[in-house]
Every structure is written in structure tokens, then in C-alpha cells.
Amino acid sequence: AADAAAMDVAAFGAADAAATREAALGAAATTREAAPRTRPKEERGVRVLAVATDADEAAPLLASAKRANARVDLLGVGGSENYGHDWKLRLVEAAVRDLPADQLVMVVDAYDVLVAPALGDGAAMIRAFDAFDRRVVFAAERRCWPDAALCNGGSHLNAGAFCGVARDVLQM
């Protein structure tokens, strides 16, 4: 895994995208690498990946994706919730390795995320991703859970959703 400071990372949040982007751009993790970032291919759309040990629990995500005409690949169905985040990352890594290097990939939580209709278009999502001009974009939020004492104002990284082209996601 690449050093986080070497990756070109931004954060996005629904509540206050401008403030979130400003906070992300000011972070040390926004250091640019010399290599240009890979541009996603619009005709491939967006591949959405979600780790879910229970497909029934992911039904709202899958139903929203169907309405949005988006493809969601569930990874880890039938596994144990006790495997943890490293297991989740290994599943995502294996799935991303099978994709073209310039495929835009969005990794989301399976149980508390819905797919918006614009995502199914693919082109709109790619334009939104390109607007950040970053290699990988993470979700951000203003509150911390389960320990609100960890919050000190501003936006906080939420690894529940991130997006980037396959090559860059593999370099994280």
C-alpha cells in the first residue's frame, strides 16, 4: 500500500461539499505525485463494489441500484461479519485487480448507502469525480460515530465510501 501522503486524495460530503473539499485540499494527503492520474473511460461507466456478508441486508442498496440502472457487485456474501476491515479490503483488492486500469470504481458500505439515479448514467458520476481532480476521493462527514469526542470540528474521513480508477485504488 502506498503511503497516504504520496496519494492524491480528496474527500467529499453531501452536507457541505465546498467546505469538505477545502478541508481535504488543505490536508497533507493531497500531495500530488509526478505521474498523471488515470482518466476513467466514460463508456465503461462506474463499477460499484460493496462488501456484504448478508445479501438480504443489502437489499435497499441493490433495489436503489436497479432503479438507477447501476451495477453493484456484492463481495463476501456468506462470510462472517467478524472478519473485519482487512478482510473487506482484501475482497475489494481482488475484485479491482480484475478490472481494466481505467475503470472508475466506487466502493460503498452495503447496508447504509443508496445509489442515486445520476450514478446509473455513469457519465455524470465520472464528471463529478473528475471535478475533484484527484486520484482517489473519500467520503467525509461532520460528525463522528461512535465516539463524538473524537470530532474537533470540520470534516472527518469516512472510509464507508471512496472512488477512483482501478489503478489508483490498487495503489492506496
With a pLDDT cut of 70, the percent of the chain lying above it is: 70
The rounded distance, in Å, linking the Cα atoms of 89 and 98 is: 15
pLDDT tens, position by position, 42-98:
667 788 999 999 999 999 999 998 888 888 999 999 887 667 778 888 999 999 999
Identify the CA nearest to 62 among candidates 105, 120, 138.
Answer: 120
The rounded distance, in Å, linking the Cα atoms of 44 and 122 is: 8
pTM for the complete prediction? 0.73
Residue 108 main-chain phi, psi, to 5 deg: -130, 160
Query: Using CB atoms within 10 A of its CB, is residue 146 exposed (0-12), middle (13-18) or buried (19+)?
Result: exposed
The rounded distance, in Å, linking the Cα atoms of 60 and 26 is: 35
The rounded distance, in Å, linking the Cα atoms of 28 and 9 is: 9
